[in-house]
Amino acid sequence: MRPVTNPVLPGCHPDPSVCRVGDVYYLVVSSFGYYPGIPVYRSTDLVDWELVGHVLDRPGQLDLTGLDLSDGIWASTIRHHDGVFYVVSGIARGRTGASTFVVTATDPAGPWSDPVELDAQGIDPSLFFDDDGRCWFTGARDAPEPAVTGPGELWLRELDLDTLRLVGPEHVLWHGALRGQWVEGPHLYKRDGRYLLLAAEGGTERNHAVTAASATHVTGPYVTDPRSPLLTHRHLGPDHPVQNVGHADLVDTPSGQTWAVVLAVRAVDDTHVLGRETFLVPVEWSTAGPVFAPGAGAIHVGEAATAAPVEVLDLAAPLAAQGWASLRGPVTGLVEPVPDGLLLTPAGADLAGRGTPTFVARRQQHPRFRTRTRLRADGLTGAEQAGVVAFLHQDRFVTHALGVDADGSREVRVTAWTSAGGHVLGRAPLPGDSATLLITGDDSTYTFALETGAEQTVVAAVDRAFLSTEVAGGFLGVHLGVFADGASGPSTAQALVEAFSYEPLAAPRQQRPGPG
């Protein structure tokens, strides 16, 4: 296995779950209100991951209509048993679990079955296949007596693999190591004849942590590992570059090594914009149980040894296969590949609503980056606009768009959007129907510029924290993409994306102090 440069899945890749089949690893992450749902990644070394498909890629499989973008598909679990892949997941509404389901496939790239709803409360479902072939479902839910046990509990019930139904009695397993915190993210394992229950506690922010309990029987009773938390960064202070560490899933390599995938964020000035990312952590086993990051007790993170290449969007290829997504459903008829590029038709649904607007985007995956988009728009009228966007969620984003001003002249305008509406930050005249629009991000600022030949004109800039989770809320990271909206009915306007590129930028070199 080659050296690890964390995160192994940069950008918004939270709540990772992993399994191994032979020499190949498969991993899923949360997708919230983005469509298609639950991306599936493949790797042969746990370090380099390739997107191979999505679990939920047909409209009939899920309904995300009207959801806050931070609701939707929360933490899922992927497992493999007797030639079948299983993903168990659920939909959250109003920040609480609304439904739980299981899907199956013989090929993780798909197709996946239609969801089978399970009679299960709560969130963060998981599956465990015991040595006798029985399958056990675990989940997290509110505890009935929070003053006595703490606010949450982990519970277990058997899953009948023939009917995909939960059967038999429920078993309450554990209320967590911290008791005053909600316990979630359960995963069960078996090692040396004992059952290990991993969990996440402390919330998914700065106090996030990995905790554990163990038992001699799968149904319990479970005894708290007194070393809990087994992994956390909450004691390292706000200046540590990695924060919010937790939500671990374990996997063994063919040679018998154990690794954990966990979520964490890369914070700058105590805020982050990339979302919760997937990190890889070595695990060793002691007589007391698993030891995360042995000898260090913290996650290693560092810049890649070589500069990441510029990524050019293939406008003729399927967008989902390139990691692009829409909001809450497919954008068929609104975003269409054509011989010259990607055709956008302005929709009545807009980015600030809870529908499916004309919008597709990719994750911001690096603290410093530049996107360059060549865009042509014809026939825009009134409130219609088309352009690029730095998008956190429906209540916080910045558009950089072509439109028309009050006297009908073409212009480029940058608008910052919150739940209170939009505020125009800058305008520039556009002498024609096309433009090259730039978004550049660094450790302090998002800059929105218009490129004409070799010249660049800054239209506006936004403080980086404006798009951070700590300031704006939610569970997501910034996505960068293209959009068209403002139509009050059927629109005759069209925008053509002729090119889009994403360029990771290197960190500025630190100046060494001279002799005193």
Give the pLDDT means over successive 10-residue stretches in the chain (516 positions). Answer: 86 98 98 98 97 96 95 98 98 95 98 98 97 97 95 98 98 94 97 97 96 98 98 95 97 97 96 98 97 94 71 96 98 95 94 97 97 94 93 98 88 97 95 91 97 92 98 98 89 93 81 42
Q: Of 139, 135, 125, 138, give the one whose Cα is nearest residue 161.
A: 135
The CB density around residue 113, as the number of other CB atoms within 10 Å, is 18
Q: According to the model, what pLDDT value does residue 304 have?
A: 57
Catalytic residues: 15, 184
Q: According to the model, what pLDDT value does residue 326 have?
A: 98
**Partners of 158 in beta bridges:** 136, 167
Contacts of 180 (CB under 8 A, 6+ apart): 150, 151
Q: According to the model, what pLDDT value does residue 514 have?
A: 43
Contact 171, 220 (CB under 8 A): yes
Q: Around 406, how many Cα atoms within 13 Å sit in the side-chain half-sphere?
A: 0
Give Cα 214 distance to the centre of its chain.
30
Query: What is the distance between the alpha carbons of residues 265 and 273, in angstroms, rounded to a whole number?
Result: 9
Contact 493, 487 (CB under 8 A): yes
Query: What is the distance between the alpha carbons of residues 456 and 446, in angstroms, rounded to a whole number?
Result: 15
Q: According to the model, what pLDDT value does residue 474 have?
A: 97
Kindly list the structural domains of the chain, giving each domain's residue range(s) and its CATH number in brackets, ordered by start: 17-292 (2.115.10.20), 311-504 (2.60.120.200)
- Record the tokens describing residue 147, joined without a space: 């003053």
Contact 272, 476 (CB under 8 A): no
The DSSP result for 273-323, as a single string, is: SS-SEEEEEEEEEETTEEEESTTT-S------SSPPPPEE--TTS-SGGGT
Q: What angle do CA 305, 306, 312 make, to 5 degrees?
A: 140
Contact 137, 125 (CB under 8 A): yes
Q: Around 499, how many Cα atoms within 13 Å sit in the side-chain half-sphere?
A: 12
Query: What is the distance between the alpha carbons of residues 226 and 353, in angstroms, rounded to a whole number?
Result: 47
User: How, if at all, do strands 434-441 and 421-429 pair?
Assistant: unpaired
Q: According to the model, what pLDDT value does residue 506 have?
A: 85
Q: Of 250, 270, 253, give the one whose Cα is nearest residue 262.
A: 250
Q: Of 61, 80, 48, 1, give the one whose Cα is nearest residue 329.
A: 61
Give Cα 266 distance to the centre of its chain.
14
Residues in the chain: 516
- Record the tokens describing residue 98, joined without a space: 């609304």
State the distance between the two ends of the chain, measured CA to CA, in whole angstroms. Answer: 44
Sheet with 24-28: strands ordered across? 17-21, 24-28, 37-43, 50-56
Q: According to the model, what pLDDT value does residue 411 have?
A: 94
Give the pTM: 0.96
Residue-wise pLDDT tens digits, 114-164: 999 999 999 999 999 999 999 999 999 999 999 999 999 999 999 999 999
Q: Measured on CA atoms in the order 283, 103, 136, 173, is the torsion positive or negative?
A: positive
Q: According to the model, what pLDDT value does residue 184 have?
A: 97
Tell me whether residue 254 is exposed, middle or buried, using C-beta atoms within 10 angstroms of its C-beta: 0 to 12, 13 to 18, 19 or more.
exposed
**Partners of 277 in beta bridges:** 264
- Record the tokens describing residue 183, joined without a space: 């316990």
Query: What is the distance between the alpha carbons of residues 75 and 28, in angstroms, rounded to a whole number?
Result: 9
Give Cα 303 distance to the centre of its chain.
21
Contacts of 209 (CB under 8 A, 6+ apart): 178, 200, 201, 202, 228, 229, 230, 231, 232, 234, 245, 246
Q: What angle do CA 64, 115, 171 make, to 5 degrees?
A: 105
